[in-house]
Amino acid sequence: PVTFRLAVFGDPIEQSKSPQIHQMFAEQTGVQITYQKIKGEVDSFTDQLAEFFRHEDAMGVNVTMPFKEQAAAWADTRSISVEQASAANTLIKTSSGIIAETTDGKGLVSDLLRNNMHINGKTLLLIGAGGAARGAISALLDENPKHIYITNRSPANAQRLVDIANDKRVSSISEGDCAKQTFDLIINATSLSLQGNVPNIPDAVFNTQPNVYDMVYQSEDTSFVRKAKSLGCNNAIDGLGMLVGQAAESFYLWFGLRPNPEPVLAMLRKELSGS
């Protein structure tokens, strides 16, 4: 059987779980792959990509920080969500050239739905307006929410994201005004949990027990998940499933096969908790 060549480019890259995740997907689906971690070089990243894709068995790559913008620009064609986000995390080799895709948003949505966090007809609060929020917005809109409010420390960045989304179901809201709305689902797309901090939104947003999702994942509940749970939101989870979900979407784009995220998620959770 053919062995397909895959890789993830980033810097830093040592900590990447992608090789492990994709090896498990490959075993599940009976595909033969090699999946390398490659440290990207800012000045020669596109040369590195070109060199990788010169291999006849090269099927695709994942791209992580800080190369997502360069990868999007280098590809021959871009999906609509890549155009919107100006960033790609997946490149696919096809007979008509290299296609750039972004699977973070779909990975997020699949994890939300798997955890009974419904989007269709619901009112969402998206906290943060960086790359992660930008990558999520079009996948969230595809699921037909009633409205998505975006709040952010820097209001101008939230407004910029509203402008990018260009959809009447998306608007910005100040952190303080969040108390005036009722949300069914709150998604934290900031990096605050990495420092053990939480966004500066009023506690009142948790009164109606919305579903709560934090894109950051850690060995224990993140600070945002802890806060939500302490205020009575029992359906509150971190972003490990989004990591697995985005990988599953990339795998699907390369091979047309849908792996099962559950055993991979269980393995990563066990590894994270050090048991």
Annotated binding site: 16-18, 64, 89, 104, 128-132, 215, 217, 239, 246
Residue closer to ligand NDP (CB basis): 107 or 145: 107
Residue closer to ligand NDP (CB basis): 7 or 189: 189
Can you tell me the distance from the alpha carbon of 176 to that of 253, in angstroms, rounded to the nearest whole number? 41
Question: Of these, 71, 192, 228, 264, which contacts ligand NDP (CB under 6 A)?
Answer: 192
The first and second tokens of residue 202, run together, are: 């009023």
The first and second tokens of residue 253, run together, are: 């784009």
Backbone angles phi, psi at 268, to 5 degrees: -65, -40
Q: How far is CA 39 from the centre of its chain?
A: 21
Question: Of these, 128, 145, 259, 261, which contacts ligand NDP (CB under 6 A)?
Answer: 128
The first and second tokens of residue 163, run together, are: 């402008």
Residue 84 sits in the site that holds ligand NDP (CB under 6 A):
no
- The residues in 86-105 that bind ligand NDP, with binding defined as CB under 6 A, are 104
Query: Do you find a cis peptide bond into 66, omega within 30 degrees of 0?
Result: yes
Query: At closest approach, how far in Å is the CB of 249 from ligand NDP?
Result: 11
189: helix, strand or coil: coil
Residue 219 sits in the site that holds ligand NDP (CB under 6 A):
no
Catalytic residue among 37, 39, 68, 93: 68
Can you tell me the distance from the alpha carbon of 13 to that of 99, in angstroms, rounded to the nearest whole number? 23
For 110, the enclosing helix (H) or strand (E) is: helix 104-114
38 to 9, 32, 41: CA distances (angstroms): 5, 19, 9
Residue 212 sits in the site that holds ligand NDP (CB under 6 A):
no
Residue closer to ligand NDP (CB basis): 6 or 85: 85
Query: At closest approach, how far in Å is the CB of 174 from ligand NDP?
Result: 13
Residue 130 sits in the site that holds ligand NDP (CB under 6 A):
yes
Residues taking part in catalysis: 68
- Return residues touching ligand NDP (CB under 6 A): 104, 128-133, 152-154, 157, 189-192, 194, 215-217, 239, 242-243, 246
